[in-house]
């Protein structure tokens, strides 16, 4: 491998690693979509796929992180169905038979240390 190609390959690996390890930036308005009557598809579109679903997708849960900018969805998991360890909150949403939000809770699952 030529020195230029080796340098280019190393630069690409470094760039990809930096992108993969950078957490998403928080947004204060992220959870504004979660309100009674909101359609499930709208939540999935805005928040992404939940980390867990129950009762045939009548209940969904998202792993939520928080930083100075606000909330962000923690879309990657350590294991199937398990939120990442740095996520402090879980958003649990219950839908009715028409796939509309009935109720929701933002639950603290990890306390900051």
Does residue 84 surpass a pLDDT of 60? no
User: Which pLDDT does position 66 carry in this prediction?
Assistant: 86
3-class DSSP state of 78? strand
User: Which pLDDT does position 26 carry in this prediction?
Assistant: 85
Pair 106, 64: CB distance under 8 Å: yes
Mean of pLDDT values over 72-93: 71
Both structure tokens of 56: 């045939």
| Range 24-108 classified under CATH 3.30.1450 | yes
Instruction: Report d(CA 36, CA 101) in Å as an integer.
Output: 5
Question: What pTM does this model have?
Answer: 0.70
User: Which pLDDT does position 111 carry in this prediction?
Assistant: 67
Mean of pLDDT values over 70-88: 66
Does residue 56 surpass a pLDDT of 90? yes
User: Which pLDDT does position 74 carry in this prediction?
Assistant: 82
User: Which pLDDT does position 2 carry in this prediction?
Assistant: 66
User: Which pLDDT does position 44 carry in this prediction?
Assistant: 95
User: Which pLDDT does position 81 carry in this prediction?
Assistant: 55
DSSP E strand stretches across the chain: 52-54, 59-67, 70-73, 77-79, 82-83, 89-95, 101-108
Q: Give the start-to-end residue ranges of the domains of the chain.
A: 24-108
User: Which pLDDT does position 43 carry in this prediction?
Assistant: 96
User: Which pLDDT does position 25 carry in this prediction?
Assistant: 78
């Amino acid at each position: 491998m030529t020195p230029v190609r080796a340098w280019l390959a190393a630069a690409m690996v470094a760039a990809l690693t930096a992108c993969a390890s950078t957490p998403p930036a928080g947004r204060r308005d992220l959870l504004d979509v979660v309100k009674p009557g909101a359609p499930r598809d709208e939540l999935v579109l805005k928040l992404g796929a939940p980390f867990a679903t129950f009762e045939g997708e009548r209940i969904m849960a998202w792993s939520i992180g928080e930083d100075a900018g606000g909330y962000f969805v923690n879309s990657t998991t350590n294991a199937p169905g398990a939120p990442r360890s740095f996520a402090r909150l879980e958003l649990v949403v219950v839908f009715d038979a028409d796939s509309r939000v009935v109720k929701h809770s933002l639950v603290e699952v990890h306390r900051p240390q």
